[in-house]
Amino acid sequence: SPGVGTQGGNASEVISAGTNYLIVGRTILNAKKPTDVAKDLQLDSLGK
């Protein structure tokens, strides 16, 4: 599964490609507002 966010992947694209999980740790850990980033990734992975 490709990295999402910091590594350049897009959550909705990798979900559509058939991945079973997202690698987003660095994206959330390095964010100024990690809760907001996590929520955005969740919504993006759901296609919203």
- pTM greater than the 0.75 cutoff: no
- Give CA separation, 27 vs 10, 15, 30, 33, 42, in Å: 12, 17, 6, 10, 13
Query: Is 2 a domain residue?
Result: no
**Mean pLDDT computed over 17-42:** 90
For residue 25, the enclosing domain spans 11-45
Q: Quick one: pLDDT at residue 33?
A: 98
Q: Quick one: pLDDT at residue 7?
A: 64
Better pLDDT: 33 or 42 = 33
Q: Please say if the pLDDT value at position 28 is more than 60.
A: yes
**Mean pLDDT computed over 3-16:** 75
- Total number of domains constituting the chain: 1
- Which of these ranges, 19-23, 28-32, 37-41, has the smallest mean pLDDT? 19-23
Q: Quick one: pLDDT at residue 5?
A: 67
